[in-house]
Chains A and B, each alone.
Chain A
């Protein structure tokens, strides 16, 4: 597909339209999950407040910084390909992937600590939400990284240029969605009490 920014395209979504329907569905699922967490907390306020304190806020905040920075790198990749700078685009995507990898490593450390303490999905309602919500998001980070890696490989093969960058925008849009969800998840599960 050829991209040439024209006035007609000015009000179109960046990337492939199909990814946006996927993004809307994902946001709907996460949105329901977030409201369900808040509603379930209503019935167990003390328990949620007590066990929220056991979470590692430092790791949560660092992961937020990593995802935001990774998203910023993806923006730089999109800007680079729009200017026809393929190599620079690939480098920014690799930098974004490093951010994603850092997120996965830190989250794994957090899970390891919790599992070492014998905490599982059935420990209590708070941990059920904490583990299922964050693991569901964890899987989305992995999927986002696979998409970005595929985009980088395609870019390396010369599939994208300043005239054709729909694929880069598509991967970028999905990655930003992963970031957007975490932006709500972090204060909701780790901070707000």
Chain B
């Protein structure tokens, strides 16, 4: 059932929705580590969707996927640590 709704069109719509969520959180002006993590996880999910579905890397060798997802998670983790240290 889930597979039926998971396609390139719904991935695109989901990313638009996540972008509007990010913007809304910014508009409200919430801060704190919970919000920072929420925003970074949202960005990581969007990045993951681009890598998996837009770049079409879901079936490629583990090495290539590890480089791409590794970059995404290391960057998000690095930013999270820096923001956590600033609180």
Contacts and interface: CB of A to CB of B under 8 A. Distances in A.
A187 B85 contact: no
Contacts of B39: 187, 191-192
A183 B86 contact: no
Interface stretch (A34-42, A115-123, A129-137): A34-42
Interface residues of B, number: 45
A83 to B, nearest CB: 14
Interface string A53-74: 0000110110011001101101
B74 to A, nearest CB: 7
Contacts of B56: 14, 75, 78
B14 to A, nearest CB: 10
A184 interface: yes
Interface in A4-22: 10-14, 20
Contact of A11 (B46, B55, B61, B78): B61
B26 A57 contact: yes
Interface string A105-117: 0000000000000
Given A13-B57, A180-B47, A68 B15 contact: yes
Report the interface size class on chain A: 35 or more
Contacts of A192: 35-36, 39-40, 79, 83
B87 to A, nearest CB: 9
A31 B36 contact: no
Contacts of A186: 19, 22, 43
Most buried by B among A20, A31, A58, A75: A75
A9 B47 CA distance: 24
Q: Which of A11, A60, A180, A183 has the most CB of B within 10 A?
A: A183
A184 B76 contact: yes
A156 interface: no
Interface string B59-87: 11100100110011011101100110110
Contacts of B27: 57
A32 B86 CA distance: 19
A34 B77 CA distance: 11
Nearest to A63: B19
Contacts of B55: 14, 173, 176-177, 180
A127 to B, nearest CB: 19
B15 to A, nearest CB: 5
A190 B25 CA distance: 11
Of all A-B residue pairs in the complex, the 3 with the closest CB atoms, nearest first, are A38-B82, A191-B26, A61-B23
